[in-house]
Amino acid sequence: MVIKSNLKEYEVFIEQNMEFITLLKNVENAEYVIDKNVYELYKKYFNDISRERLIIIEAIEQNKIIDTALEICEKITEIPAKRNATLISIGGGIIQDITGFVANIMYRGIQWIFVPTTLLAACDSCIGGKTSLNYKKYKNLLGTFYPPDKIYICSQLFYSLSERDFMSGLGEVIKFNIMAGENGLSKIENSIDRLLRRDIGTIDYFINSSLEFKKRYIEIDEFDKGERIKLNFAHTFGHAIEVVTEYNIPHGTAVAIGMIMANHISYNRGYLKDEIVSRSENMLLRVIDIDWELLEKPYEYYINAIKKDKKQIDSSLTAVLITEYGTNSYLNVVHDLKQKEIVNSIEYFKRLYKIWN
């Protein structure tokens, strides 16, 4: 799959085995940044990379900050090559965010290759070029647009994901299929059992279809000025949940909860029929496994987190909602979200989740 960017064209390769790692180890003037857990699980593939060229990072939100990025910059200055240097990053979305940011600011842009090792990164964030760092208590406040030169996806890596992380990735997969309209929702309903079993063929199919869906938006509106903002469906609520729970709920799971909240608001506004809401919830609840007490925080915490969301343009509250559903779905950015609607949607999810469990 080739993605056309205003900055450069880049390609996604779907690999059937781990042999491609050998090719990456032969790249000249390369610095490797690898998720600590991935390194420990697949150490045999990386043992012959010299320690001078290897940076191991614990992929936690607390490390997705400018200090970590600058430490990598410092290591890259040790490579004799400057703009001919290549940064190769292997990990999930946190590693992607940190290294993409570094690749962009280092020498005004160096080559960058990304290997997503989580379903979440493979089905969504690996394309589109967004890089984001957290600042103080606020998520993704600093960022750039800088896509990799190449992306290698190998679903074999997803066998070693924890259930928590795999379910988080499925949250984003379901999101794209709900956004795709009736056909997408039907496909995920018919395939959810195979996805939960981690069937490689089914996973590869939905990774490809998710990226194809996202590709249409990012090629129209690469820099998030209009149409691409619709891909943030449910993220206003999802990001708030992450912040309020101090990231104890992973991103894709938070987005899955955010979809239930967003669709509840759409239903109450008369945008969505009960049947679509119920079918969506049946899929989403299958990939949500949380301690619901994590959500037991004052509602002001949620409101304040939403006010800090990047999509806010003034003092009004903004979110992306489905406003019509059929063969295709129609999403719109609404700027008249009421605090009462947010509180009601949180309460609704908590009641629903208790009943489900």
Closest CA relative to residue 263, chosen from 320, 301, 183: 320
* Calpha distance 294→50 (Å, rounded): 42
The tokens for 250 are 């992973």
Cβ atoms 8, 149 nearer than 8 A: yes
- The rounded radius of gyration (Å) of the Cα atoms in the chain is 20
Does 311 score more than 90 pLDDT?
no
- Per residue in 227-271, pLDDT (tens digit) is 899 999 999 999 999 989 988 999 999 999 999 999 999 999 999
* Distance (Å, whole) CA 203 – CA 205: 5
Strand partners, 215: none
Say whether pTM exceeds 0.85: yes
> Which amino acid is residue 297, in one-letter code?
K
CA-to-CA separations, 336 to 29, 151, 179, 255, 313, in angstroms, rounded:
51, 39, 21, 21, 11
Q: What confidence category does residue 309 fall into, taking pLDDT thresholds of 50, 70 and 90? A: low
> What is the pLDDT confidence band of residue 310, given thresholds at 50, 70 and 90?
low
Q: Which tens digit of pLDDT belongs to each residue from 82-126?
A: 778 999 999 999 999 999 999 999 999 999 999 999 999 999 999
**E strands of 66-197, at which residues?**
86-91, 111-116, 130-135, 138-145, 150-154
Q: Where are the alpha helices (DSSP H) in 221-338?
A: 235-244, 251-268, 274-284, 299-307
The candidate with the shortest Cα–Cα distance to 127, out of 189, 56, 184, 212, is: 212
Containing 209, the helix (H) or strand (E) segment is helix 200-220
Per-residue pLDDT, 139: 75
Query: Which one, of 218, 224, 211, lies nearest residue 320 by Cα?
Result: 224
Whether residue 315 has pLDDT greater than 60 = no
pLDDT at 79: 85
CATH number of 2-158: 3.40.50.1970
Half-sphere exposure of 309 (CA within 13 A, CB side): 30
Which of residues 211 and 246 earns the better pLDDT score? 211
Residues 141-169 pLDDT 10s: 899 999 999 999 999 999 999 999 999 99
What residue ranges do the domains of the chain occupy? 2-158, 163-356
pLDDT at 314 (0 to 100): 52
Q: Which CATH class is domain 163-356?
A: mainly alpha
Task: Tell which residue, 276, 282, 269, has the closest CA to residue 353.
Answer: 282
* pLDDT score recorded for residue 357: 80
Q: Which amino acid is at 318?
A: T
Question: Strand pairing of 111-116 and 138-145?
Answer: unpaired
Query: What is the C-alpha to C-alpha distance for residues 45 and 29, in angstroms, rounded to an integer?
Result: 19
Closest CA to 103 of 89, 121, 87: 87
Please give the Cα distance from 63 to 138 (Å, whole number): 13
